[in-house]
Amino acid sequence: MNATDLTKTLAQILLSRNWTVSLAESCTGGFVCATLTELAGSSKWFERGFITYSNEAKTESLGVPPELIEAHGAVSEQVAKAMVEGARINSGSNVAISITGIAGPTGGTKEKPVGTVCFGWATESQTVTKTQYFDGDRHTIRRQATEFALAELIALRRS
């Protein structure tokens, strides 16, 4: 499914449960929020987005401990977990998504190459994290990350 179809599916799920979603985005820079709010009526289920590109923003807006970033790096499942939990709690949403990664074309390392993206999904009862590796240019990586984030939340809510 493309991002538009994923958004429509997610909207139906959230509306049927009277739930809201919030985002904590880093490497996607608000791309997921923009995708969600393209759908008319999204104000019924989209609560807010935190664009926390810098480490300081992750700490100040989401409560990510600086020690966690220092120990694991901003692109890590540990930081994605702290981001998503901070987004859900600080927004009062029922569910949240976080994304932190390296969209390129620079910034990659041997351990974390360009295309490395860490995700988090949180509900009131669970938090799940995953790391994915995407190929392509900056735009393609960000688009793939957006679609993956939405598809995984849909899968999580259906289970």
* DSSP H/E element including 95: strand 95-101
Rounded to two decimals, what is the model's pTM? 0.96
Domain interval for residue 78: 3-158
First-to-last C-alpha distance (Å) of the chain? 18
> Mean pLDDT of residues grouped by 10 in the chain (159 residues)?
95 96 98 98 98 98 98 98 98 98 95 97 96 97 98 83
Q: Residue 98: what pLDDT?
A: 98
Using alpha carbons, select from 18, 97, 24, 84 the residue that is nearest to residue 54: 24
Contact, 25 vs 51, CB < 8 A?
yes
Domain count, the chain: 1
Using alpha carbons, select from 157, 158, 159 the residue that is nearest to residue 21: 157
- Which of the 8 DSSP states describes residue 20? -
Q: Residue 156: what pLDDT?
A: 86
Q: What is the CATH number of the domain that holds 148?
A: 3.90.950.20
